[in-house]
Amino acid sequence: MSEARLIELWRGGLLESSHRGHVVIADSNGIVEAWGDPGAVIFPRSSCKMIQALPLVESGAADAAGLTSEHLALACASHNGAEMHTKRVENWLEGLGLSESDLRCGSHMPNDPEARKGLVCSGTSPCQLHNNCSGKHAGFLTLNQKLRGGPEYVELDHPVQMAVREAFEETTGERVAGWGVDGCSAPNFACSVEGLARAMAGFAKPANDSRGAAQRRLVEAMIAHPELVAGEGRACTELMRALGGKAALKTGAEAVFVGIVPERGLGIALKIVDGGTRGAEAAITALMLHLGLLSENDPAARKYLTAPQTNWRGRITGELRRAKGFPQ
């Protein structure tokens, strides 16, 4: 099957741009609905952080380190590098007897306006705590204390990444189709869109075992702390707040988005093939509307899909639309 057109940008009554992709909604029995090619192989990127955090919880490392639901939300986060994120990660590392220099995620300017302003105006360079993946890496370091691996925990053959790979293959139900180096230098394993949706369905309806318990804790942590999973002004945070606990959502670079809907036992995975954030945010919003979890007029739904597009003077220039065949 080929890519399906999912989201369109209209201007002056004409189609200006469009986004194609693949979408799978799955439950414990398999595919419930799909658009595009469920078998398309993708890199989940940061959308699979709850899978990458599974060994941390399942192994008992999280409890041994006394991690709270805030820590678990940060382990699943692509955060804005606001003080509420960086301070918590800094204290987390300190609690492990470690520091920022033990991270291997690299540094980049935070997306949080205040944090960015503070650095820019003081001429200060960002550190690894500001990296949107620093919580995930603090989780890797926490697991590493239990596994007693070396300091280079992002190497493919490191015990931490071998544990992550095992969890990834078991939850997606697939052998990894390959791997790549992620923006934060951790290995990112490839799977099908169906496999990623299958994994999310597992998080939505966990088994009554230690893995299920770990999955439940991670989903509850994401839902309890939407502001820690991304940050103010970000889609994951604003949409999860609007969903009022009905679903956990997580984005990934290059336009991946996943959803976990416990009350329905549904898992969602989507990839916009052009890698553009606009299309992925609009598509996950469309799916929340389709499932009746969000209303067309909710401020978050309007921001990411249903409100008119406006310009610098506030004049209406066009609108985002769901392509024909993509759920209205």
For residue 273, state whether it binds its own copies (rule: CB under 8 A): yes
Total residues in contact with its own copies, by rule CB under 8 A: 49
Question: Does residue 270 contact residue 21 with C-beta atoms inside 8 Å?
Answer: yes
Which one of 150, 178, 245, 325 is in contact with its own copies (CB under 8 A)? Answer: 178
For residue 313, state whether it binds its own copies (rule: CB under 8 A): yes
Q: State the Cα–Cα distance between residues 96 and 75, nearest whole angstrom.
A: 15
For residue 316, state whether it binds its own copies (rule: CB under 8 A): yes
Which of residues 159 and 275 has its CB atom nearest to its own copies in the complex? 275
For residue 117, state whether it binds its own copies (rule: CB under 8 A): yes
For residue 105, state whether it binds its own copies (rule: CB under 8 A): yes
Instruction: Count CA atoms closer than 13 A to 15's CA, side-chain side.
Output: 10
Instruction: Count CA atoms closer than 13 A to 50's CA, side-chain side.
Output: 36
Which one of 78, 80, 111, 131 is in contact with its own copies (CB under 8 A)? Answer: 131
Question: Does residue 134 contact residue 102 with C-beta atoms inside 8 Å?
Answer: no
The secondary element (H helix, E strand) that includes residue 146 is: helix 134-147
Token pair, residue 54, equals: 């599974």
CB 121 to its own copies: min, Å: 4
Site mask for its own copies (CB under 8 A), range 50-89, x = bound: ----------------------------------------
CB 3 to its own copies: min, Å: 9
Question: Does residue 266 contact residue 57 with C-beta atoms inside 8 Å?
Answer: no
Q: Which residues contact 260 (CB under 8 A, 6 or more apart)?
A: 50, 200, 203, 204, 219, 222, 247, 248, 249, 266, 267, 268
User: Cβ of 328: how many Cβ atoms within 10 Å?
Assistant: 10
CB 210 to its own copies: min, Å: 31
Token pair, residue 312, equals: 């610098």
Which one of 29, 125, 297, 311 is in contact with its own copies (CB under 8 A)? Answer: 311
In sign, the C-alpha dihedral spanning 147, 150, 152, 157 is negative
For residue 227, state whether it binds its own copies (rule: CB under 8 A): no
CB 59 to its own copies: min, Å: 26
Q: State the Cα–Cα distance between residues 136 and 67, nearest whole angstrom.
A: 13
For residue 95, state whether it binds its own copies (rule: CB under 8 A): no
Q: State the Cα–Cα distance between residues 284 and 121, nearest whole angstrom.
A: 36
Which of residues 133 and 240 has its CB atom nearest to its own copies in the complex? 133
For residue 181, state whether it binds its own copies (rule: CB under 8 A): yes
Instruction: Give residues in contact with its own copies (CB under 8 A).
Output: 9, 11-14, 16-20, 41-43, 104-108, 117, 120-121, 131, 177-185, 188, 190, 254-255, 272-276, 278-279, 311-313, 315-318
